[in-house]
Amino acid sequence: MLADLNPGQREAALALVGPVRILAGPGTGKTRTITHRIAYGVRTGVYDPDRVLALTFTN
């Protein structure tokens, strides 16, 4: 599931406890990373899918 992420993205996706802040430019995979983190957390049973909320901000 995480094989298609680069090492930095994979590190963020594997950090399943606590908040993660990703500072990167447009098109660098921030949304992809957070969606993989959520999917991985749900798949491994760390996250309850009924209790997940993801927010992103844009101008």
Please write the tens of the pLDDT for every residue from 2-59.
999 999 999 999 999 999 899 999 999 999 999 999 999 999 999 999 999 988 777 7
Q: Strand ranges (DSSP E) for the chain?
A: none
Provide the CB-side half-sphere exposure for 52 (13 A, CA): 18
CB atoms within 10 A of CB 5: 19
Q: What pLDDT does residue 38 have?
A: 97
Show me where the domains of the chain are located: 7-51
